[in-house]
Amino acid sequence: MHIMFNNPLVYVVEYAGMEAVEVIDKRVGRGALIRDDAARRFREELKDLVDHEVGPEEFDAFMVPWEALLTQPAIYH
């Protein structure tokens, strides 16, 4: 498990052995485990976003296509 990204809006954990990322949208308290090709695409797009140091509007636009997957309530231990 590797914390890939953490900001006030989103928390992303990478599970390398599973080829998966867990994405939690802190604004709505929901998340999803994204696997395989979709996980690779999410990581690549997130890396491009972070490399270009975009603002909140661009980050929100990045999350729009992924929001439909974030259906599981985020429960903290």
Helix or strand run (H / E) with residue 10:
strand 10-15
pLDDT tens-place string over residues 3-56: 999 988 899 999 988 999 999 999 899 999 999 999 999 999 999 998 988 888
| Residue 35, SS3 per DSSP | strand
> What is the predicted pLDDT for the residue at 77?
44
pTM as predicted: 0.86
> What is the predicted pLDDT for the residue at 16?
82
